[in-house]
Amino acid sequence: MRGKTPVYIISGFLGSGKTTVLKKLVEYTRQQNKKVGLILNELGDVNVENYMFEQEQMVELLNGCICCSIQDDLKETLQQFIDNPVDILLIEGTGVANPNEIVDTLVSTTYLENFELKSIISLVDASNFLDYQSIFSSSKEIRQLLKEQITSASLVIVNKTDLISTKQLQKVEASIYKNIANDTPMIATSYGEVSIEELLKPRIRMITSGESDQKSCSCSSNDHKEGCEHQNHSNHASIKAVKLDNLPSLDRKQLQKWLKGLPGEIIRGKGIVQVSGETGLTSFQYAAGRLSFEKLAEASMQETVMILIGNNIKKDEIIKYYEKGFL
């Protein structure tokens, strides 16, 4: 009889580096000749990063957040992995997902017999964390989201530490320590460089009936409610995604200048573009003022598209800014 499928949830705010860690886990699992299943969630109607995982058993949940608005889609997807089991299941929520809501589904009677949650890995963008915590440069919704993602974690990865000073890192860590349980480890790093042993270490014990343990559902949240019932389904309604498609060829320097000139409400940008003077397509990632490119395989069937995610962004203004910059 097949045992329960181990599950790892990858959480973290926009631009914190979730996909980098996810790639690391997928590559290791593949090296071990194990079958990995992926559930990838995006706010918009397209996932520009799915090309990274085309060889895996992957399900994309689009146009909403699996922690609330499309939770029924998550349940249907979990049923797919019951019918077609994998050796390990990795769930990456949107940058505005509350992991506790995903846990609620996993620990329900329907799925508890088939899945075993091993860890909730939450990433923090150290370079922007203090600004996100400030009442002067952030919103109540963002501050609440960050708190939920941190308090629910069984492992906190403080990423992008290369972009800040030692003194700033100390402030970031001090703020995080106030919101996590004493036994929740925190690792400071850059580029998501965390050992596989740390990432895959079982940190949550799921308790079945007849057993007792302080971490019975083990969301290690300080304010975790009895029965794992959470009421914050709509606290990220102000975070929205804008899609720009049918893009013309773009110059790298021009794109970088354009992205850095976006309104401050834009937190994250990513997409697939045709770079002027180059053959094939190129993906880009933009967060914390940092832009990176990755050349796609010549045979890629992707189309040019750009996704911009932010707080209280106005689609019409973004489109006008785009037309002014590139058309």
What pLDDT score was predicted for residue 224?
Answer: 40
Residue 75 sits in the same domain as residue 13: yes
What are the b/e assignments for 288-301, b being 16+ CB within 10 Å? beeeeeeeeeeeee
Digit-coded pLDDT (tens) for 152-196 = 999 999 999 999 999 999 999 999 999 998 889 999 999 999 999
What pLDDT score was predicted for residue 70?
Answer: 58
Q: Label residue 196 exposed, middle or buried (CB < 10 Å: 0-12, 13-18, 19+).
A: middle
Q: How many domains does the chain have?
A: 2
Residue 168 sits in the same domain as residue 41: yes
Residue 131 sits in the same domain as residue 223: yes
CATH at residue 105? 3.40.50.300
Residue 49 sits in the same domain as residue 112: yes
Mean pLDDT by 10 residues, the chain (327 residues): 88 92 96 95 77 86 64 86 96 85 84 94 96 88 90 96 97 95 94 97 71 41 39 57 89 89 87 91 87 81 85 87 85
Residue 122 sits in the same domain as residue 9: yes
What pLDDT score was predicted for residue 64?
Answer: 67
Tell me if 233 is assigned to some domain.
no
Residue 301 sits in the same domain as residue 166: no
Residue 16 sits in the same domain as residue 39: yes
What pLDDT score was predicted for residue 73?
Answer: 82
What pLDDT score was predicted for residue 197?
Answer: 97
Digit-coded pLDDT (tens) for 88-111 = 999 998 888 888 888 888 888 889
Domain of residue 255, residue span: 239-326
What pLDDT score was predicted for residue 77?
Answer: 92
Is-contact 303 244, C-beta < 8 A?
no
Domain boundary among the residues 179, 200, 228 is at: 228
What residues have CB less than 8 Å from 221, skipping those under 6 apart? Answer: 100, 148, 151, 152, 181
Tell me if 266 is assigned to some domain.
yes
Domain boundary among the residues 194, 228, 262 is at: 228
Residue 261 sits in the same domain as residue 114: no
Q: What is the 3-state secondary structure (H, E, C) of the chain?
A: CCCCEEEEEEEECCCCCHHHHHHHHHHHHHHCCCCEEEEEECCCCCCCCHHHHCCCEEEEECCCCCCCCCHHHHHHHHHHHHHCCCCEEEEECCCCCCHHHHHHHHCCHHHHCCEEEEEEEEEEEHHHHHHHHCCCCCCHHHHHHHHHHHHCCCEEEEECHHHCCHHHHHHHHHHHHCCCCCCCCEEECCCCCCCHHHHHCCCCCCCCCCCCCCCCCCCCCCCCCHHHCCCCCCCCCCEEEEEEECCCCECHHHHHHHHHCCCCCEEEEEEEECECCCCCCEEEEEECCEEEEEECCCCCCCCCEEEEEEECCCHHHHHHHHHHHHC
